[in-house]
Amino acid sequence: MTDKPKLTIRLCGPRGFCAGVDRAIQIVVLALKKYGAPVYVRHEIVHNRYVVEGLQARGAIFVEELDEIPIEHRDQPVVFSAHGVPKSVPEDADAKNLFYLDATCPLVSKVHKQAMRHQRLGRHVILIGHSGHPEVIGTMGQLPEGTVSLIETVADAEAYQPEDPENLGFVTQTTLSVDDTAGIIAKLQERFPQLTAPAAESICYATTNRQEAVKEAAPGCDLFLIVGAPNSSNSKRLVEVAERSGARHSLLVQRAEEIDWDNLGELSVLGISAGASAPEIIVDEIIDAFSQRFDVTIDLAITTVETENFLVNRQIRDVELTAQDMAFVNGNH
């Protein structure tokens, strides 16, 4: 007999690493193997401190801009993060004679292409997204200044005054709230019936699936923990989805040590999911921390199974990963 209080953990699936994150981390690990340290990475490869520190320990150096790469290291590779970069970044890398590997998620690149297609067909581009986020900076930076307008909210969609309302096309950031975005698009379509949608959905499969799983699991949860970082757009959206879908309270947590055990309130059902950049090893760490204090039963809340897999850049496909490398790349080490 245990005297610990009973706790049911509803563990969402899919959760954690998506195919784009897996690929981006693999690119840095493969580059380190093939070219040796240091490998520079422009911006956090994905928004997760554990991943960044793990790569630093292997010899990666993170910078925000290419200018930070010392001249004597300009023969070492630089990797662009999964969030994508404005066109000016590869141009600048070429001008500096740098060798770069682009780890932009293929689904972000797809949005870039859709934005360029709108523009080629004479449409002013509306980008729905969050100001200042690196993916938004990257997508806006595919097009000349003044040819993209950023819309963040329904209020922005209401106030927007385009020069040519008949010639508009939209794309979105890949990690937005599915429901909020639908509201913004509905408002834009109501005001501009000619507005052209992208040929394919911009919010990606991983964002959609993680939100759907949280939505299903949230009703009746006393607390919903989302493993993820405060600068991770997709993780923050999961916190909102949990609260809106019926969890009494939801929190973003980066590591088990952050949990404020004395202030969790009455707990009998706990939801757990993880953003696309959060490694599974941290989910395990958090479940272990609860198991030390509660008599835990795990209830899997799985809405779909993902099989997506993205190939890494041609130049590094010949490098082999050890089992330990693979465990790190998959978030299990």
43 assigned to a ligand binding site? no
Is residue 82 near ligand SF4 by the rule CB under 6 A?
yes
332 assigned to a ligand binding site? no
Q: Indicate the residue among 8 and 174 with the shorter CB distance to ligand SF4.
A: 174
Q: Cα-Cα-Cα-Cα dihedral of 261, 10, 226, 242, to 10°? A: -110
- x/- mask, ligand SF4, residues 122-161, rule CB under 6 A, reads ----------------------------------------
As measured in angstroms, the least distance from the Cβ of 235 to ligand 2E4 is 6
Structure tokens belonging to residue 106: 């293929």
Contacts (Cβ under 8 Å, ≥6 apart) of 306: 14, 18, 19, 205, 206, 209
Is residue 277 near ligand 2E4 by the rule CB under 6 A?
yes
Question: Nearest-CA neighbor of 268 among 296, 291, 288, 292?
Answer: 296
Question: Nearest-CA neighbor of 178 among 150, 152, 207?
Answer: 207
- x/- mask, ligand 2E4, residues 85-124, rule CB under 6 A, reads --------------------x--x----------------
Single residue of 143, 217, 276, 282 touching ligand 2E4 by CB under 6 A:
276
Query: What separation in angstroms does the CA of 13 have from each of 254, 282, 298, 307?
Result: 18, 15, 12, 13
Which of ligand SF4, ligand 2E4, none has residue 19 at its interface (CB below 5 to 8 Å by kind)?
ligand SF4
204 assigned to a ligand binding site? yes
Task: Let me know: does 78 contact 41? Beta carbons within 8 Å.
Answer: yes
Q: Check whether the bond before 198 is cis (ω within 30° of 0).
A: no
Single residue of 232, 250, 254, 273 touching ligand 2E4 by CB under 6 A:
232
CA–CA dist 209, 308 (Å, integer): 12
CA–CA dist 298, 312 (Å, integer): 35
Sheet holding 78-80, edge to edge: 60-63, 39-42, 78-80, 100-102
234 assigned to a ligand binding site? yes
Q: Indicate the residue among 47 and 215 with the shorter CB distance to ligand 2E4.
A: 47
Catalytic status, residue 135: yes
CA–CA dist 126, 147 (Å, integer): 9
Is residue 19 near ligand SF4 by the rule CB under 6 A?
yes
- x/- mask, ligand SF4, residues 162-201, rule CB under 6 A, reads ------------xx--------------------------
Give, rounded to a whole angstrom, the gap between the first and last alpha carbons of the chain.
33
Is residue 66 near ligand 2E4 by the rule CB under 6 A?
no
Q: Indicate the residue among 82 and 93 with the shorter CB distance to ligand 2E4.
A: 82
Catalytic residue among 53, 64, 68, 135: 135
- Catalytic residue positions? 135
Residues forming contacts to ligand SF4 in the complex (CB under 6 A) are 18-21, 82, 105, 107-108, 174-175, 204, 206-207, 234, 276
Residues forming contacts to ligand 2E4 in the complex (CB under 6 A) are 20-21, 46-47, 82-83, 105, 108, 135, 174-175, 232-235, 275-277
